[in-house]
Amino acid sequence: MHRALPAVARPPMAVLFRCATRTEVVFLTSLPAGGYIVAANHISHFDPVIISCRFPRYIDWIAMDALFRGPAATRLFDWLRAIPVSRDGSDRSALRVAHTRLAKNRVVGIFPEAGIRAGPGSVLEGAPMWPGVAALSVLAGKPVVPCVILGSDRLYRPRAWLERPPVWLAFGQPVWPAHAVDRRTARNSVQEGLARAFLDLKEHLLLTYHLQPGDLPTTPQARKGEGRNASSRVPAP
């Protein structure tokens, strides 16, 4: 059951989100072989499922330890091969587990914003990210594949599940850890390369699909408010 659940759960989730969204996926280059890290911006709770369903390999996501509360939730996320990490990123055990998975040529997924972010707090606007991503890349000697997702935040509006909103995904060039004199220089190199990649991928999606300001990420609260405001505008019979 532990090994079978990801394979069993993925197909129905893929069907659900294919029916609920119109997802465009762009791979700007071929993916590396062996183990590597997928690092994505984070705009909704639906992101890990949407990304996983459209990615050719299974992703072991690093997830906030708050999701592992209670024996049932802990067992479920363990079966899904998720890796718990503390919100402040101070827990080194997550990096050790992720390093072991990478050594076994698995794919590890990370949201380096350490939470859902939009606007100035997002890596899409140049905000700083969790340094653990670069540290893990250098420690494991594995590349980071950057990913930008746009549009999934619209799914916070219940009506959107019937409207099939567009979602855009872009995967960019792998950022490899540099052969540097010291680890700090290597980590900074990965951090800077990943920061540039997020901005470039966002720009690529904006230009390729002619996206408008309303297509850009906003907070879950704002998206839910859009749904309430739309309902309030419906004329009385």
Delimit the domains of the chain by residue range.
4-232
Distance CA 139, CA 236 (A): 62
Dihedral sign, Cα of residue 7, residue 10, residue 12, residue 15: negative
* Burial class, 4, CB count within 10 angstroms (exposed 0-12 / middle 13-18 / buried 19+): exposed
CB–CB of 183/137 below 8 Å? no
- Which of 28-42, 48-62, 63-77 is predicted least confidently? 63-77
Distance CA 184, CA 100 (A): 21
Q: What is the pLDDT of residue 58?
A: 94
Question: Is pLDDT of 187 > 50?
Answer: yes
* Burial class, 40, CB count within 10 angstroms (exposed 0-12 / middle 13-18 / buried 19+): buried
Distances (CA, A) of 90 to 95, 139, 142, 181: 10, 16, 21, 26
Q: At what angle do helices 183-208 and 132-140 cross, to 10 degrees?
A: 120
- Which of 69-78, 164-173, 181-190 is predicted least confidently? 69-78
Q: What topology does CATH give the domain 4-232?
A: Glycerol-3-phosphate (1)-acyltransferase (3.40.1130)
Question: Is pLDDT of 115 > 60?
Answer: yes
Instruction: Calculate mean pLDDT across residues 114-133.
Output: 92
Per-residue pLDDT tens over the stretch 14-36: 899 999 999 999 999 999 999 99
Residue 187 has a CB neighbour count (10 Å cut-off) of 22
Instruction: Calculate mean pLDDT across residues 118-125.
Output: 93
- Specify the pairing of strand 144-150 against strand 166-171: antiparallel
Distance CA 33, CA 52 (A): 17
